[in-house]
């Protein structure tokens, strides 16, 4: 794994899709669970994992904000959609 600083961690992660970030986070968890990573490297990859988690959370929040709910008429038939937050 290349040397990372907080700035280039964020730059790298910012361009990842949700699926890419989640896969990278899963690899980090696997590496840390194995326990055969030196302490200094464990700290660096843990920090990267935190950044990946924040990125995934932000992407999920953005997706949730775009979700629309279906409006139903009085008889229960769909009559269109509106933003989830009612705006």
* pLDDT of the chain, 87 residues: tens digit per residue: 444 455 566 778 999 999 999 999 999 999 999 988 899 999 999 999 999 999 999 999 888 777 666 666 778 777 776 666 654
pLDDT at 40: 93
Q: Are 1 and 39 a contacting pair, CB within 8 Å? A: no
**In sequence order, which residues have a C-beta less than 8 Å from that of residue 73 and are 6 or more positions away?**
79
pLDDT at 75: 81
Q: Is 83 helix (H, G, I), strand (E, B) or coil?
A: strand
Is residue 68 in a domain? Answer: yes
In this structure, what token pair is assigned to residue 38? 């030196």
pLDDT at 85: 61
Q: Quote the domain boundaries for residue 37.
A: 6-83
pLDDT at 2: 45
Is residue 1 in a domain? Answer: no
Q: Total structural domains in the chain?
A: 1
* Partners of residue 83 on adjacent β-strands: 68
* Partners of residue 81 on adjacent β-strands: 70
Other Cβ atoms closer than 10 A to 82? 11
pLDDT at 5: 52
Is residue 18 in a domain? Answer: yes
Is residue 34 in a domain? Answer: yes
* Partners of residue 72 on adjacent β-strands: 78
């Amino acid at each position: 794994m290349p040397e990372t600083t907080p700035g280039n961690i964020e730059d790298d992660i910012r361009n990842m899709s949700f699926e890419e970030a989640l896969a990278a986070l899963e690899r980090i968890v696997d590496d840390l669970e194995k326990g055969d990573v030196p302490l200094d490297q464990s700290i660096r990859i843990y920090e990267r994992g935190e950044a990946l988690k924040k990125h995934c959370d932000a992407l999920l929040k953005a997706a949730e904000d775009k979700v629309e709910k279906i409006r139903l008429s009085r008889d229960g038939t769909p009559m269109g959609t509106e933003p989830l937050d009612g705006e």
